Amino acid sequence: MQFSIPVTAIRHGTALALATLLLAGCVHPITMITETAPPRSQAHLIPKKVAYVMTDADRDKEVVTPGGSGDRVSYFPYRDLEKSIRDALRAVYRDVVVLRTAGDAKANEAAGVSLVFTPRITTDSSSSSWISWPPTSFTAEVSCVVTDAAGAEVTRVRAAGNGTAEFGEFKGDFGLAARRAATRLTSQLSSEIRRSEKLR
């Protein structure tokens, strides 16, 4: 027995596949890394050694969020925002180090670490443009569980940053909105840490 597929069905299927591809859009890589850091005044630093936790698995987490014209953008939020987290801590504390895990009390004690910040990062993006893919709006949020050297929770601290950019501002800097969000997040995180009596 032979079966035949109508030409119209083939055409319909092809059109549907093309439409699906168009709706899916392309994924473009951007970076959130910013060189802007909060001011660091030696005279006002808290004389403590603190740590933040950042694993290789964290650094390798890739996130995809919406861009413009049906496309999306990809980036590595932990890898990109590690500098922002470190800069925020360095604006408050005398010494800052990185750890692979928060729970090694003996290692923390041996290193002289007083507080350990374990960040969790969430991001989102969008665009008002129908003709260009870079996001015109970007949000980044970090929530840190802060523990003492033994692993007991001390408090939690949260900071967020919003960044916007217009099409005429990009000039090849397609992650501009994301980097602006990272700059604001860094500044707010250092302010929130300073504000907390438990983190002095």
pTM for this model (two decimals): 0.85
- Domain with residue 66: its CATH number is 3.40.50
Q: Give the Cα separation of 169 and 174 in Å (integer).
A: 9
* pLDDT for residue 116: 96
Instruction: Give a yes or no: residue 183 inside a domain.
Output: yes
Sign of CA dihedral 51, 53, 56, 62: negative
Q: Which residues of the chain have pLDDT under 70?
A: 1-24
Sign of CA dihedral 59, 47, 149, 196: negative
Instruction: Give a yes or no: residue 6 inside a domain.
Output: no
* pLDDT for residue 24: 55
| CB-neighbour burial class of residue 46 (10 A; exposed 0-12, middle 13-18, buried 19+) | middle
Instruction: Give a yes or no: residue 20 inside a domain.
Output: no
Instruction: Give a yes or no: residue 18 inside a domain.
Output: no
* pLDDT for residue 77: 98
Instruction: Give a yes or no: residue 8 inside a domain.
Output: no
Judge whether 50 and 116 are in contact, CB under 8 Å: yes
* pLDDT for residue 96: 97
* pLDDT for residue 4: 41
DSSP code string of 76-141: -HHHHHHHHHHHHHHTTEEEEEEES-S--HHHHHHHT--EEEEEEEEEEEE-S-SS--S-SEEEEE
Q: Give residue-wise pLDDT tens across range 41-86.
A: 999 999 999 999 999 999 999 999 999 999 999 999 999 999 999 9
Judge whether 35 and 84 are in contact, CB under 8 Å: no
**Residue 53 belongs to what domain range?**
26-199
* pLDDT for residue 59: 97
